[in-house]
Structure 1
Amino acid sequence: MKTMWKAALLAGAAWGAASNLAVAQEQAATEQGVGVEEVVVTARRREETLKDVPVAVSAYGAAALERMGASDITSLQQSTPNLTLQVARGSNSTLISFIRGVGQQDPLWGFEPGVGLYVDDVYIARPQGAVLDVFDIERIEVLRGPQGTLYGRNTIGGAVKYVTRKIGADPELRLKASLGSYDQRDFLISAKAPIGQKLAVSFAAASFDHDGYGKNLNTGAEHYDKDVATGRVSVEYTPTESLFFRLSADTTRDKSNPRHGHREVQALNVLGQPIPGGEVLPDVYDTRAGSGDSNRVENSGVSLLGQWTINDLITVKSITAYRSGNTEGTIDFDELPGAYLDIPGRYNDHQFSQEFQALFTGDRWQGVAGVYYMNATAAGAFDTVVSQINTTIATAGNVDTESYSAFADVSYDLTDRLSFSVGGRVTRDEKYGRVYRQNFTGIRSPLFGNNAAVPGLLRSSFTNKKTFSKFTPRLSAKYVISDDLNAYVSYSQGFKSGGFDMRSDQILTPNSADGYEPETVDSFEGGLKGYFLDRRLSLNTAVFYSKYKDMQVTQQTPVGASIASQVLNVGRAHMSGFEVEGIAKLAHWVSANVSLGYIKAEFDEYSALDLTSTPPVVRDFSNARVFQNTPKWTGNFGLNFSHDLGDNGSITFTPTASYRSSYHMFEIPSALDQGAYWLYDASLIWTSAQGRYKAALTGKNLGDERYRIGGYNFPQSAAVFYGNSVSAFYGPPRTVTASFEVKF
């Protein structure tokens, strides 16, 4: 527990430093009416102010997201403590997410994330297409730590809630156009209007396009380009004062070219000789990949919310949703014209979910209870093409999931100052998996059009079914120190069920057909939230200590011409740290935002099969393993200057700087690991006096930093057949965007 105390002391020091800073600023902030705006969130499935929620939550409204220049949800990692949200390696719109060291790097079908993504309370099961563009939005909430009680599915690390705009009573038509670097061309149209007294409709459509940051020097195609179209339509019906219905539908299509990454080392053939054209390219956004320039990701969904306010005490909700998605693309691991290690692939999935909630409110108590059901199928296929030995390994399969759960969370005010919350969820997941894997002689298998390929060794062919059940509790206590300051402590448990590895190779790992087991996180947290100096300063802090058990880790080890994939329950780990978020209103015309996150994450046990030994044996690798996508420090500082121009409107200027300390791409340290870096952004926004017109100029990564966000590591020392394939994927370069918006 020493690390817990260290984290608490560091959090206390940060709190004290921020408080002292605020005292120093008090003399300059004497203007009447200066104060920090109160934020309302629904982290506990009911509306509460951010200060009153005994959970570590970061909330961003539409105006704050605009000042940040947030084009999609990955921008949140720059300002949210201990958060990683990134575009997955080899993709344009697949999401990789980690909170406090818990997440899922591998987006293969059938694997489930450790951070839950919700759009209007609908769980999004697939990571493909989950890099949501920010448009027509009310707010985004990031809940840190296990959220197993109220959110359940795969929120062992936390949850990201994307809340779209409600229609409201006033009609509106909004047009927005953005032009910028790399021939950026973004367009948005949205409209909403009431129809009579009981019905209202809205729609929004957007396209996001820009040329590539680099080129495919082999084919001439754009590389790191964007070609996304999306739309959303909603209908709200209020037949009586106590009844409300909302029907929503959305669709997204991503036709951006595949991202093949950047070769980080010289390519080598099977004899260890340099491959012509396989040198390291000077521009990190360029490639020479030859596996193709075709990529398509489609997602769509429909949901129905029904709400009945029975009386002042009870409200019931029903949330029904269906979603489906398809992905067709390719990943070129070797970044060369030849197929030294190429992976064409396709995924498809669909999910149906139904949730019923009952919200209770009394004089001294409030809470929510409900049941949840989900039926989902994830399927796919891919070829592993190794041209140096004229071999293709074909892989295909599917995972069907039925999930049932019941949950409740109730808060009771023991006194006017002290309240307690008790919650729990019972979850039962039934999973059925089917895996097929076979060698073929030839370039590509019949799964991807080569019917002349000669079948060889059958590596896997099995079906299996497993059931996982778990009760996850949550306890918290909140004490109201004053009207403006609350303290809380909590214990929560998160659970992610087991499953089947779609890459299972029964030749190399015979037990892989048995699947892998669930993982759990037990988290202890304490925090202070409140306002100071007549609400000129807002501070939210948290300190946490978590125990990670039966941790699921994907490990891929080259063995000859094949790759041994294992999803392992490697053992135990612990994490501790603190988080500070603050807003200071320095004067009526300027405010400051600051966030700071610290985490220390270590393995206590890492038991895995060592496939490099003969025969393979189980070893404890804990001293040689590290947490991935978990920088020790994350921080952000920004200023927001505003000036009233009278009849000419108003103008705001927002410069920000964000920091991430060094972090690892995988549990095994490698040359792909990213060093510490800073990112600098700024936005300048003019708004007309009546709010009808708006113009903005936004700069991102103004220092033009080059930083890795993912990679593949198959060096020559591990597999001579793969062309010494070590490649990296990079975050966007410096961009500048000008936008104009008009409302009618």
Structure 2
Amino acid sequence: MKEVLYRSALAVAIVTALGSNPALAQQAGTDDQAVQLDQVSVTAQRREAQMQKTPLSMSVISGPELDRMQVKRVDDIKFAAPNIIIEQNTGTSSGAKIFMRGVGADESMFTNDPAVALYIDDVYIPRQNGAMFDLYDVERIEVLRGPQGTLYGRNATGGAIRYISRKPTGESKLALDGSIGNLGRRDARLSFATRIGETLDVSAAALSRQRDGILKDITHNRMVNDQDVLAGRLSLASTWGEASYATLSIDRLRERSTPAWGTPVALDANGNQVPRLGSFYKTETDTLGLNDIDQFGVALTNETDFGAFSWRSIAHYRTLDHHFYMDVDGTAQTRYHLEQDQHQNQKGYEAQFTSQLDGPFSWVAGVFAFKEHNDQPTRSDIFVRGGTNYIAQDTSAYAIYAQGDYKFTDKLTLTLGGRYSYESKDFSVRAVKANGEPNFSKNMRNSWNRPDWKALLSYNFNDNVMGYASVTTGFKSGGFNGRGSTPATLVQVDAETLRAYEIGIKSTLWDNRLRLNGNYYRLDYDGIQLAAVNPEGIFVVTNATGALIQGIELEAEAQLTRGLKLNATLGTIDSEYQKYKAINAAYFRGHPMKNAPELQWTFGGSYVQPLGNADLVFSAQARYTDEYYQNQDASRLIMRKAGHEYNARIAYEPRDAEWSVALWGKNLSNEFASTGGFDIAGLGVGVIYPNVPRTYGVEFSYRFW
């Protein structure tokens, strides 16, 4: 651990030294191959600004970096941001388990809300199931770390991830991208854009992603954990009136992948994980499983310029249908099977008002309204076929918010923000025994309200260095344990809250060839909604404790020459449970928090080598994650071991042609890692969900016009 931390800090120190050494800076200034880093614009504070002028810990991936870093899906973002865990959730093919700085949620049941908010073009995605989106036709990704309680509010205690798609611009385009590789990898992306008449801009994109399975089901002699996804998006944009611009977006997704099967594991005499079937990529099951996902969404965004201020509104409607039947136990017996048939729909509206006058004071204000309905028959087969619980929940959420900046001088700015949130949930269960007889029913309702606030001071030491200090709060509403199988376990949990303190610095050095950002954060986390599985296989949710989490984050990006660009991140998490009751001291005192590795770092870069009338573009990324536990009991049986991941890509890009080709590889060291697991001693269940082994292939792109 200390050796890895030393090497990581040394790498960042070297990059820092390059930017602060006058002799090297002077040498770079005379190098005709040296260029500056591109400016990065973001809208993280609901108004467009330069990333380096935004006093917020954030990571951004945009432009060519999306392809060079092979950011194809939401979980690929972990190669570009510190202190983040993004993995496929247990048992599902497209559930997204996201933790930032040790704050998150790994229970995908709709009664448990995530703690990291995910937005697609400012449309809030409330469910983990179906949230592992493919990132196609995307302009940039913004990763905002820490609570975003003022401007984003709902369930953003850990942070927010914003996926901003390409908007229609009137450009005429038809392009095809494809990729083939081992494990039967077959991807295709088609994008089209045009202008109809004088004002209507149209863009469309379609995606097909297919891959064979990575686990051998030895019971049925087949491969499982495959991928079979079809998706598409249509966008229409037009000006109307004298100062308005509207965009209509429609998206559709169909997935028929198999469920994510786990592989049975045990511990050897030294406490190491070993596969029960001789390989981490083998499993047993007495069922074929089911995993059908269908999503649909439509969103209408309108922007109007009133001169003194602008008005932006976002109205949306989305549906999700997800029917799956999975074998949790990894054996050829029925120890623990789970079936659920989720039907979800949501609708929402948000209006944002942004000041546009010159002067020392600027502001953003808005209103937010959201409604969601879920209903889901759920059946747990524990040794025998179980009964069915018909679970439903209606959620309503409303908020009003405002945030203002006041510039006392050209250097010193004070930011104050506030948000008032109200949420209500109506929850019901009708339980039926396996023989069809009524078992029990229960209805519960509650509401929660909370004011959140933000106070921030930023100071420009000069044109290139900015420091900031902030205090921010976050709130995640309470709820109910939808997986409870008896009236006694269908309990209510209270809201969880978080207060974050952060001190940071953002710098652009070396004649804009180096960006170096760093921060220290402290999170006072209270009322944590802990989800766990007891030895009998019953899911339990409680507000058992609080925690103190703190650490540092560093991000560096350097354009060393015209062709060579490097990037690095470093993140640490020091977490400790606190505020637990004396009766729970033995359970929490000295125990680690789950999904909170002490150290993570990434290092990557790209190099462009001219070759005749073309460029060879070499790019690679490395990522290290310290060991961390994946359940509340800190079980070594399903622990994620410390390890590295390596990706690389080599592209041939002719300058005067409409095509390019690239060789790519992911997890090149073929290192095994557990992305999740279940340790249920009372049922004899111990399974982990393996990562995708080494993959490689070739991709191509062609632009017809």
What is the TM-score of this pair, normalised by structure 2?
A: 0.94
Match of 2:352 among 357, 378, 393: 357
TM superposition shift of 1:454: 6.1
Alignment correspondent of 2:257: 256
Could you say what secondary structure the match of 2:701 adopts?
A: strand
2:463 is equivalent to residue 462 of structure 1: no
Q: Please state how far the C-alpha of 1:13 moved relative to its aligned partner.
A: 9.2
Local SS of the residue matching 1:343: strand
Q: Deviation per CA, 1:159-193, whole angstroms, max 9, x where unpaired?
A: 00001011113211111111111111111111011
Name the residue aligned to 2:546.
572
Q: Secondary structure at the match of 1:674?
A: coil
Q: 1:581 aligns with which of 555, 559, 583?
A: 555
Classify 1:296/1:208 alpha carbon distance in 2 versus 1 (closer, same or farther; 3 Å).
Answer: same
- Contact 1:263–1:727 (8 Å) recurs in 2: yes
Given that 2:375 and 2:393 are in contact with CA atoms closer than 8 Å, whether structure 1 keeps it comes out as: yes
Q: What is the aligned partner in structure 1 of residue 527 from structure 2?
A: 550
Question: Of residues 379, 385, 388 in structure 2, which corresponds to 1:383?
Answer: 379
2:271 matched to which residue of 1? none
Which among 696, 699, 704 is matched to residue 739 of structure 1?
Answer: 699
Of 291, 296, 299, the match for 2:287: 291
Counterpart-to-counterpart distance in 1, 2:585 and 2:566: 50
Classify the secondary structure of the residue corresponding to 1:22: helix
Shift of 1:690: 3.7
**Alpha carbons 1:553, 1:570 under 8 Å: kept:** yes
Asked if the contact 2:452/2:474 (under 8 Å) is kept, the reply is: yes
- 2:378–2:391 contact (8 Å) kept in structure 1: no
Choose the corresponding residue for 2:413, options 400, 419, 433: 419
Q: Which amino acid aligns with 2:630?
A: M
Task: Pick the aligned partner of 2:659 from 693, 696, 710.
Answer: 693
CA contact (8 A) 2:350 2:366 kept: yes
Name the counterpart of 2:633: 668
Residue of structure 2 aligned with 1:20, choices 12, 17, 30: 17
The answer on whether the counterparts of 1:223 and 1:286 sit within 8 Å (CA) in structure 2 is: no
2:315 to 297, 301, 320: 320
Equivalents in 2 of 1:708, 1:10: separation in Å? Answer: 25
Shift of 1:356: 0.7
The match for 1:534 is 511
Q: How many Å apart are 1:737 and its aligned residue? A: 2.3
Matched, 1:517 2:494: yes
Q: CA deviation at 1:494?
A: 0.6
Match of 2:469 in 1: 489
Alignment of 1:471 with 2:466, yes or no, is no
Aligned mates of 1:505, 1:725 — CA distance in 2: 19
* Counterpart-to-counterpart distance in 1, 2:258 and 2:614: 41
Aligned residue in 2 for 1:179: 180
Provide, for residues 534-557 of structure 1, a one-character-per-residue CA deviation record: whole Å limited to 9, x for no partner: 111111111101100111101221
Q: 1:415 to 1:467 in 2, by over 3 A?
A: same
Residues 659-682 of structure 1: per-residue CA shift (max 9 Å, x gap): 000111012111211111011111
Three-state SS of the structure 2 residue aligned to 1:503 is coil
Post-superposition Cα deviations, 1:37-74, rounded to whole Å, max 9, x if no partner, equal 11111110111111111111100004112101122110
Instruction: Give the Cα–Cα distance (whole angstroms) in 1 for the partners of residues 453 and 265 of structure 2.
Output: 46
Aligned pair 1:341/2:336, yes or no? yes
How does 1:647-658 map onto structure 2 within 5 Å?
Answer: 648-658=613-623
CA contact (8 A) 1:223 1:285 kept: no
Hey, what's the Cα distance between the residues in 1 that align with 2:117 and 2:599? 23
Letter in 1 for 2:693: P
In structure 2, distance between residues paired with 1:320 and 1:454: 42
Find 1:401's aligned residue among 395, 401, 405: 395
From 442, 455, 460, the equivalent of 1:480 is 460
Describe how 1:67-86 pairs up with structure 2 within 5 A.
67-86=68-87
Deviations 1:444-487 (A, max 9, x none): x3xxxxxxx3648x3x5210110100000011111111111111
CA distance in 1, matches of 2:278, 2:116: 36
Q: Is the CA contact (8 Å cut-off) linking 2:519 and 2:553 kept in structure 1?
A: yes
Moved more, 687-696 or 334-343: 687-696
Q: 1:368 and 2:370 equivalent?
A: no
Distance 1:629 1:241 in 2: 51
Judge which range, 323-332 or 217-226, deviates more: 217-226
- 1:638 equivalenced with 2:604 (yes/no): yes
| Percent identity of equivalent pairs | 29
> Unpaired segments of 5 or more residues in structure 1?
1-8, 267-277, 446-452, 609-616
Deviations 1:487-517 (A, max 9, x none): 11111101000011112344554xx44x110
Q: Which amino acid aligns with 1:544?
A: Y
Question: What is the aligned counterpart of 2:593 among 614, 624, 627?
Answer: 627
Q: CA deviation at 1:77?
A: 1.3
Which amino acid in the other structure matches residue 48 of structure 2?
A: E
Q: Does 1:410 align with 2:384?
A: no
Is residue 142 of structure 1 aligned with residue 107 of structure 2? Answer: no
What code does the residue aligned with 2:348 have? S
1:274 corresponds in structure 2 to none
Matches within 5 A, 1:50-61: 50-61=51-62
CA distance in 2, matches of 1:574, 1:595: 23
Q: Are the structure 2 counterparts of residues 255 and 736 from structure 1 closer, same or farther at C-alpha, using a change threshold of 3 Å?
A: same
Q: Which residue of 1 is the match for residue 110 of structure 2?
A: 109
Q: Measure the CA separation in 1 of the matches of 2:257 and 2:357.
A: 52
Counterpart position of 2:672: 706
Contact between 1:554 and 1:568, CA under 8 Å: does it hold in 2? Answer: yes
Shift of the 685–37 alpha-carbon distance from structure 1 to 2, 3 Å rule, reads: same
Q: Which amino acid aligns with 1:292?
A: L
Amino acid at match of 1:417: K
Contact 1:628 1:667 in 2 (8 A): yes
Mapped partners of 2:638, 2:265: distance in 1: 8
Map of 2:270 onto structure 1 = none
Name the SS of the counterpart of 1:550 in structure 2: strand
In 2, the alpha carbon distance for the partners of 1:385 and 1:169 equals: 55
The separation in 1 between residues aligned to 2:573 and 2:382, in whole angstroms, is: 40
Deviates more, 1:197-206 or 1:32-41: 32-41
Cα RMSD over matched residues? 2.2
How far the C-alpha of 1:103 sits from its partner, in A, is: 0.5
Unaligned runs of 5+ in 2: 1-5, 268-273
Q: Which stretch shows the higher mean deviation, 214-223 or 398-407? A: 214-223
Q: Is the Cα contact below 8 Å between 1:367 and 1:410 reproduced in 2?
A: yes
Distance 1:676 1:10, change over 3 A: closer
Q: Which residue of 2 aligns with 1:269?
A: none
Please give the alpha-carbon distance, in whole angstroms, between the structure 2 residues aligned to 1:531 and 1:11.
21
Change (3 A) 1:546 1:665: same
Partner of 2:624: 659
Structure 1 residue 106, shift from structure 2 partner? 0.3
Aligned to 1:611: none
Q: How much does 1:566 deviate? A: 2.3
Distance 2:481 2:565 in 1: 49
Q: Distance in 1 between matches of 2:290 and 2:170?
A: 44
- Separation in structure 1 between the aligned mates of residue 486 and residue 387 of structure 2, nearest angstrom: 13
- Which runs of structure 2 are paired with 1:440-459 in the superposition (5 Å)? 440=433, 445=434, 453=435, 455=437, 458=439
Once the two structures are superposed, what CA deviation does each residue of 1:410-459 show, in whole Å capped at 9, x if it has no partner? 11111011111111110000111112345x4xxxx3xxxxxxx3648x3x
Single out whichever of 215-224 and 252-261 deviates more from structure 2. 215-224
Hey, what's the Cα distance between the residues in 1 that align with 2:350 and 2:656?
Answer: 41
- Structure 1 counterpart SS, 2:64: helix
